[in-house]
Chains A and B, each alone.
Chain A
Amino acid sequence: MDLDFDVVDLDPVDHPEEGDTAPDFTRPLVNDEFWEDESLASLCADSERVVLVFHAMDGAFPATYVWNEIRDRAWHEQATVVGVSISTPYEHKQLLEEREIEGDYRLFSDPANGVAREYGIDMDLDGMTGIEEPRPSVFVLDSDRTVEYVWVAAEWPDFPDYDEVQAQL
Chain B
Amino acid sequence: MKGARQRSPYPPFARIAAQSMSESDITLYRLQACPFCERVVRTLDEYDLDYRSRFVEPMHSDRDVVKRLSGKRTVPAIVDENTGVTMSESANIVAYLERTYGDTTEGGAA
Residues of A within 8 A of B (CB): 26, 28, 33-39, 42, 89, 93
B56 touches A36 (CB 8 A): no
Q: Which 6 pairs from chain A and chain B are nearest by CB?
A: A33-B65, A34-B54, A36-B54, A34-B56, A35-B55, A37-B19
Which chain A residue lies CB-closest to B64? A33
Q: What is the predominant secondary structure among interface residues of chain A facing chain B? A: strand
B57 neighbours in A (Cβ, 8 Å): 34, 93
Q: What's the least CB distance linking A145 to chain B, in Å?
A: 15
B55 touches A28 (CB 8 A): yes
A93 to B65, CA, bound (A): 14
A33 to B54, CA, bound (A): 9
B52 neighbours in A (Cβ, 8 Å): 36-37
Say yes or no for B53: interface residue by CB 8 A criterion: yes
A26 touches B65 (CB 8 A): no
Which chain A residue lies CB-closest to B53? A36
Q: What's the least CB distance linking B22 to chain A, in Å?
A: 11
Q: What's the least CB distance linking B55 to chain A, in Å?
A: 5
Q: List 9 A-B contacts (CB under 8 A).
A: A26-B21, A34-B55, A34-B56, A34-B65, A35-B54, A35-B55, A36-B53, A36-B55, A39-B21
B55 touches A26 (CB 8 A): no
**Assuming A28-B55, A34-B65, A37-B52, what are 14 further A-B pairs, CB within 8 angstroms?**
A26-B19, A33-B64, A33-B65, A34-B54, A34-B55, A36-B53, A36-B54, A37-B18, A37-B19, A37-B53, A38-B21, A39-B21, A42-B21, A93-B57
